[in-house]
C-alpha cells in the first residue's frame, strides 16, 4: 500500500502528472510524426509545451501549499503534545500560568488595539493567567476590564481590572450577573471553559448576543478533535459549525490565523451585524 502521508502522495501525483504530460507529448509525436516539425504547427508546439509547464506549475504550487499545511500541523501537534514538557503547562504571564498559545496572545493584542472593547467577558478562568494577560493589555491601553467566570476557584491573583465570578458559565445566575456587569459597554467575549460541543453551543447562544458589532467572540481550543490535535473529547469546532448555520451575525475571521498555528482556527468570530 502507498504511503498515507499527504506529502508523499502529493509528490507521487506531481511525478505522475509530469510523466502523463510527457507521455502525451510522445504520443502526439508518434501518431503524427510530422505534426510538430511542420512550420505551420509551431503554435501547436507552444500549446503543448505550455500545457506541460502548466501541469508542473500547478502541482508545484499544490505541493507547496500541502507542504506548508503539513509543516504547520506537525509543529502544532508537536507543541501541543509536549503539554507537560516545555510548552503548554510551562507558559506564564508574569508568573501566572495560562493555557494559551503565545501566537494567539499576540493576535489578542492586535484585536484589542483595533477594536478597543470596554470589557472582555471570559469563560474559564483557571489560574487567572489569561485574564491577567488581558488586564495587562488594558493597563497599557489605559482603559478596559475583564469579567471572568469559572465553576471552581483556583485562587487567581487579585487584580484591579479583573472581576472573578464563581459558577457555571451557562447558569441563569451567572448570565444575570454578567449582563448586569456589562450593561451597555463595548463587549468582547472569549469562551474557554468546558470544551464539549453541547456546552460551547450553549455558551455561544447565551454570550453571542452580548458581543458588540465590530467586536470578537473567540472560541478557544478549536484545534481539538483532530483539528489537528487529539486531546480529550471536546469539540468546539462542531459547536461553532452548528451555531454559524443559524446565526449570520458572526463570521470567522480567518486573517487572525496568519501565523499558521492558532488554537482557535475558525474560532475568531467577528460580529458583523
Ligand atoms: C482551559 S481552562 C481555562 C484556561 C484559561 N482561560 C487560560 O487561558 O489560562 C478551562 C477552565 O474552565 C473551567 N470550567 C469547566 N466547566 C465550566 C463551566 N461550566 N463554567 C465555567 N467554567 C468552567 C474549568 O474549571 C477550567 O478552569
User: What CATH number is attached to the domain comprising 100?
Assistant: 3.40.50.150
58 shares its domain with 170:
no
- Look at residues 149, 250, 150, 264 and name the one whose alpha carbon lies nearest to residue 205: 250
Same domain, 110 and 225: yes
Among the candidates 25, 56, 81, a domain finishes at: 81
Q: CA distances (Å), 57 to each of 13, 15, 68, 132, in order?
A: 13, 12, 17, 49
Shared-domain flag, residues 69 and 110: no
Task: Tell which of 52, 81, 110 closes a domain.
Answer: 81
Q: Is 238 in the pocket of ligand 1 (CB under 6 A)?
A: no
Ligand 1 pocket residue status of 100, Cβ below 6 Å: yes
Going by alpha carbons, the residue nearest to atom 22 of ligand 1 is 150
Please name the residue whose Cα sits nearest to atom 18 of ligand 1: 168
Provide φ and ψ at 264, rounded to 5°.
-115, 35
Do both 155 and 260 map to the same domain?
Answer: yes
Domain boundary among 81, 107, 127: 81
Please report, in tens digits, the pLDDT of each residue of the chain (273 residues total): 344 555 666 677 777 777 777 787 778 778 887 766 666 666 677 677 777 777 777 777 777 777 888 999 999 999 999 999 999 999 999 999 999 999 999 999 999 999 999 999 999 999 999 999 999 999 999 999 999 999 999 999 999 999 999 999 999 999 999 999 999 999 999 999 999 999 999 999 999 999 999 999 999 999 999 999 999 999 999 999 999 999 999 999 999 999 999 999 999 999 999
- In this prediction, residue 24 carries a pLDDT of 79
Grid cell listed for 164? 472573578
On whether residue 44 sits in a domain, the answer given is: yes
| Pocket probe mutation, ligand 1, options 83, 108, 125, max atoms within 8 Å of Cβ | 125
202 within ligand 1 shell (Cβ under 6 A): no
Q: Is 149 helix (H, G, I), strand (E, B) or coil?
A: strand
**119-123 sheet: strands from edge to edge:** 162-166, 145-150, 119-123, 187-191, 216-219, 268-271, 250-252
Atom 3, ligand 1: residue with shortest CA distance: 124
Residue-level pLDDT at 3: 46
- Other beta carbons less than 10 A from residue 54's beta carbon: 11
Is the Cα dihedral 151, 86, 108, 71 positive or negative? negative
The answer to whether residues 120 and 63 belong to one domain is no
Residue among 193, 200, 220, 221 whose CB has most ligand 1 atoms within 8 A, to mutate: 193
Query: Which ligand 1 atom sits nearest the alpha carbon of residue 149?
Result: 21
The protein residue with its alpha carbon nearest to ligand 1, atom 21, reads 150
Here the cell at position 241 is: 459549525
Q: Helix, strand or coil for residue 166?
A: strand
CA nearest to 84, candidates 99, 67, 68: 99
- 196 and 183 Cβ atoms separated by less than 8 Å: no
Query: In the block, which residue shows the cell 451575525?
Result: 249
pTM, entire model: 0.82
What is the distance in A from the centroid of ligand 1 to the CA of 74?
A: 27
Same-domain pairing of 110 and 205: yes
Instruction: Look at strands 119-123 and 96-97 and give their pairing.
Output: unpaired
Residue 108 shares a structural domain with residue 212: yes
Find the domain containing 20 and state its range. Answer: 6-81
Nearest-atom number in ligand 1 for the CA of 98 is 9
DSSP track, 214-259: TSEEEE--TTTTTSS---TT--HHHHHHHHHHT-TTEEE-GGGGTT
Question: What's the number of domains the chain is made of?
Answer: 2
Residue 205 alpha carbon to ligand 1 centre in Å: 18
Pocket flag, ligand 1, residue 193 (CB < 6 Å)? yes
Domain presence at residue 87? no
Cβ–ligand 1 contact at 264 (below 6 Å): no
CA atoms within 13 A on the CB side of 197: 10
Domain co-membership, 69 together with 182: no
Amino acid at each position: 500500500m502507498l504511503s498515507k502521508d499527504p506529502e508523499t502522495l502529493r509528490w507521487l501525483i506531481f511525478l505522475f502528472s509530469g510523466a502523463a504530460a510527457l507521455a502525451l507529448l510522445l504520443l502526439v509525436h508518434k501518431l503524427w510524426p510530422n505534426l510538430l516539425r511542420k512550420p505551420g504547427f509551431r503554435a501547436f508546439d507552444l500549446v503543448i509545451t505550455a500545457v506541460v509547464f502548466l501541469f508542473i506549475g500547478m502541482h508545484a504550487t499544490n505541493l507547496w501549499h500541502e507542504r506548508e499545511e503539513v509543516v504547520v500541523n506537525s509543529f502544532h501537534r508537536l507543541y501541543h503534545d509536549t503539554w507537560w514538557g516545555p510548552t503548554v503547562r510551562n507558559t506564564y504571564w508574569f508568573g501566572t500560568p495560562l493555557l494559551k498559545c503565545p501566537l494567539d496572545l499576540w493576535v489578542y493584542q492586535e484585536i484589542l488595539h483595533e477594536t478597543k472593547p470596554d470589557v472582555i467577558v471570559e469563560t474559564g478562568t483557571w489560574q487567572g493567567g489569561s485574564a491577567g494577560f488581558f488586564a495587562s493589555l488594558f493597563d497599557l491601553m489605559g482603559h478596559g476590564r475583564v469579567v471572568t467566570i469559572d465553576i471552581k476557584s483556583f485562587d487567581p491573583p487579585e487584580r484591579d481590572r479583573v472581576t472573578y465570578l464563581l459558577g457555571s458559565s451557562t447558569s441563569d445566575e451567572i448570565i444575570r450577573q454578567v449582563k448586569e456587569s456589562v450593561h451597555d459597554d463595548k463587549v468582547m467575549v472569549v469562551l474557554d471553559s468546558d470544551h464539549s460541543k453541547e456546552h460551547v453551543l450553549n455558551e455561544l447562544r447565551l454570550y453571542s448576543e452580548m458581543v458588540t458589532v465590530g467586536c470578537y467572540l473567540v472560541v478557544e481550543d478549536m484545534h481539538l478533535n483532530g483539528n489537528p490535535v487529539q486531546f480529550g473529547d471536546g469539540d468546539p469546532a462542531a459547536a461553532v459549525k452548528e451555531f454559524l448555520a443559524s446565526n449570520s451575525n458572526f463570521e470567522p475571521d480567518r486573517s487572525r490565523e496568519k501565523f499558521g498555528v492558532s488554537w482557535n482556527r475558525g474560532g475568531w468570530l467577528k460580529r458583523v451585524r
